[in-house]
Copies of this chain bind each other. A is one copy, B any other.
Amino acid sequence: MLRLGPLAAAGRLLPAGPRFGPPRPSGGRVSLSRSRPPGPVGDRGLLARQVRAAAGSAGGGRSPVLKTPKGTRDHPPAHAALRDRLLAAVVTCFKRHGAAAIDTPVLELRETLMGKYGEDTKLIYELQDQGGELLALRYDLTVPFARYLAMNKITNMKRYHVAKVYRRDNPATTRGRYREFYQCDFDIAGQFDPMIPDAECLKIVHEILSDLQLGDFIIKVNDRRILNGVFAVCGIPENKFITTCSTVDKLDKMPWEEVRSEMVGEKGLSPEAVDHIGEYVQLHGGLDLIEQLLQDPKLSQNKLAKEGLGDMKLLFEYLTLFGITGKISFDLSLARGLDYYTGVIFEAVLLQPENDHVEEPVSVGSVAGGGRYDGLVGMFDPKGRKVPCVGVSIGIERIFSILEQRVEASEEKIRTTETQVLVASAQKKLLEERLKLISELWNAGIKAEVLYKKNPKLLNQLQYCEDTGIPLVAIVGEQELKDGVVKLRVVATREEVNVRRESLVEEIRMRTSRP
């Protein structure tokens, strides 16, 4: 089931061309001669002075600061091409599971986002009050989806959404954590028989991580109801469930002793209760563990835990039918940070993010996560009508960081354009002929470029093809024009053939169609 390997994702490889890595110029690099000065209006005119003055007043007289905001980055062509292919692979999987796309604004009313993210609410970017509504940037795609469902009174829907979200988090860019980043979400809303949509979400994570060949991974699964049942039987008061949950969630980053002391110290829980919790949350396994807990004298008496365990058993049955239980771990330490989950929760982590070629491996942690949130839509409905939902979010930026480093380490070259042919000339004074020919090619749907020079040297034109990976050159010359042919040169082999002008489009198509 290997639909997109890392090399396929990186596009066709080039024998030479722009390196993946720090941004470098791309496009007609060979014709840099200053053939004319820039127009005087922008040069010495009033506009330039006015604009400089304005920029100066904003920047306090300093020369302009050239950077992107903290925690954000530009994507140069090689990045953008790799990421487009990665996103396309994820979307292909979402479509394979019958999801429709929606889009919602990056801006939401502030009150839409408030009270949905617990402690993380402080990480929301707010817009300045410029008159009118108070706005904020979306923090995830889940709350806007719930708002969308409630606003349009939609009671069932299977949708995907690939878009940027914003968090004023402490960026850790080497680990792929940014303040602006893509989320790729797939969600199923509606009242259905238990665990069927939940199982499909896990199948999707499994498909995507397998397809991308990121190395071995495990998908941890738990249920908020089981966690809450554990807290209850351990004697935690109900009003401390959420805060206890956030602390348990740190178990993937710190050892139990530290989590324990935070619970006892900061959160003020009794040491006995906490030790009791410790016995549970360090458990992980499969169907056997579920059976064991269903027999647990205390837990089996708790209604929530029993429901959660029953559903977990059903989920494992479906995952067995899907043939993916080998990568699933029922893990009682998994808690997930966000407040809105109400049932099954899950998180995928890579087990071997290290790449042989990479000296300092990227540590990426979780690469996908999600769960069931049956209460969120009801929060937006004036009458509190519920729409149960379950969904998954693919951590595309972290995956991208891995692929990025892998490509860099392997010194692969990524083509950033898809140009099939460069229209060139061997002699001078043929610009008009080049423009006429390229126009014919464009009109026939051929991807074609021409150097923006009146009399480029043939060598420079060929070098441009080498640099940018263009496979063919269509050369016009006096003799070819007389004969009604175009000389077609294959860049890689230097083979040259004369092609009748009326057959050129077909010949280019034939020679550039993928095998």
A15 on interface, CB distance cutoff 8 Å: no
Given the interface contacts A69-B133, A111-B64, A379-B48, does A435 sit within 8 Å of B155 by beta carbon?
Answer: no
A116 on interface, CB distance cutoff 8 Å: yes
A70 to B105, CA, bound (A): 11
Flag if A386 contacts B342 (CB, 8 Å). no
A193 to B156, CA, bound (A): 58
Given the interface contacts A41-B304, A150-B66, A416-B100, does A190 sit within 8 Å of B127 by beta carbon?
Answer: no
Question: Which residues of A from 11 to 51 have beta carbons under 8 Å from B?
Answer: 22-29, 31-36, 38-43, 45-48, 50-51
The contact string, 1 if C-beta is below 8 Å from chain B, for chain A 116-147, is: 10000000011111101101010000000001
Given the interface contacts A25-B156, A69-B108, A446-B96, does A375 sit within 8 Å of B48 by beta carbon?
Answer: yes
Number of copies: 2
Flag if B321 contacts A432 (CB, 8 Å). yes
Flag if B68 contacts A339 (CB, 8 Å). no
A-B contact pairs, 22 of them (CB 8 A): A26-B100, A27-B100, A27-B159, A34-B191, A40-B307, A41-B228, A47-B342, A48-B375, A50-B115, A51-B379, A68-B105, A69-B133, A74-B148, A76-B102, A77-B101, A80-B101, A98-B449, A106-B106, A106-B180, A126-B130, A127-B127, A322-B439
A80 to B101, CA, bound (A): 6
A152 on interface, CB distance cutoff 8 Å: yes
Cβ-neighbour of A439 out of B73, B321, B450 (below 8 A):
B321
Q: Across chains A and B, which 10 residue pairs bring their CB atoms closest together, nearest first?
A: A42-B375, A54-B115, A192-B452, A42-B342, A77-B100, A72-B105, A98-B449, A58-B114, A75-B103, A100-B416
A373 on interface, CB distance cutoff 8 Å: yes
Kindly specify which of A234-242, A358-366, A391-399 makes contact with the partner chain.
A234-242
A321 to B157, CA, bound (A): 52
A104 on interface, CB distance cutoff 8 Å: yes
A382 on interface, CB distance cutoff 8 Å: yes
Cβ-neighbour of A47 out of B109, B189, B339, B443 (below 8 A):
B339
Cβ-neighbour of A68 out of B50, B108, B343, B418 (below 8 A):
B108
A122 to B48, CA, bound (A): 19
Given the interface contacts A39-B225, A69-B133, A126-B130, does A28 sit within 8 Å of B432 by beta carbon?
Answer: no
A57 to B453, CA, bound (A): 64
A147 to B69, CA, bound (A): 12
A262 on interface, CB distance cutoff 8 Å: no
Contacts of A80 in B (CB 8 A): 100-103
Contacts of A31 in B (CB 8 A): 156, 190, 192
Contacts of A52 in B (CB 8 A): 115, 379
Flag if B27 contacts A157 (CB, 8 Å). yes
Known: A95-B417, A100-B416, A321-B432. 13 other contacts (CB 8 A): A24-B154, A26-B159, A38-B388, A39-B342, A45-B238, A47-B242, A48-B378, A53-B115, A55-B115, A69-B107, A76-B102, A106-B164, A125-B130
A283 on interface, CB distance cutoff 8 Å: no
The contact string, 1 if C-beta is below 8 Å from chain B, for chain A 75-88, is: 11101110110000
Cβ-neighbour of A238 out of B46, B192, B307 (below 8 A):
B46
A374 to B44, CA, bound (A): 11
A445 to B101, CA, bound (A): 19
Determine how close the nearest CB of chain B comes to the CB of A411; give it in whole angstroms. Answer: 20
Determine how close the nearest CB of chain B comes to the CB of A9; give it in whole angstroms. Answer: 15
A268 on interface, CB distance cutoff 8 Å: no
Contacts of A24 in B (CB 8 A): 152, 154
Flag if A436 contacts B27 (CB, 8 Å). no
A372 on interface, CB distance cutoff 8 Å: yes
A424 to B464, CA, bound (A): 55
Determine how close the nearest CB of chain B comes to the CB of A47; give it in whole angstroms. Answer: 6
The contact string, 1 if C-beta is below 8 Å from chain B, for chain A 216-246, is: 0000000011001000000000110110000
Flag if B417 contacts A100 (CB, 8 Å). yes
Question: Which residues of A from 162 to 184 have beta carbons under 8 Å from B?
Answer: 164, 166, 168, 179-180
Contacts of A73 in B (CB 8 A): 105
A65 on interface, CB distance cutoff 8 Å: yes
**Chain B residue at smallest Cβ distance from A375:** B42
Question: Which residues of A from 189 to 231 have beta carbons under 8 Å from B?
Answer: 189-194, 196-197, 199, 203, 207, 224-225, 228
Cβ-neighbour of A66 out of B69, B70, B147, B242 (below 8 A):
B147
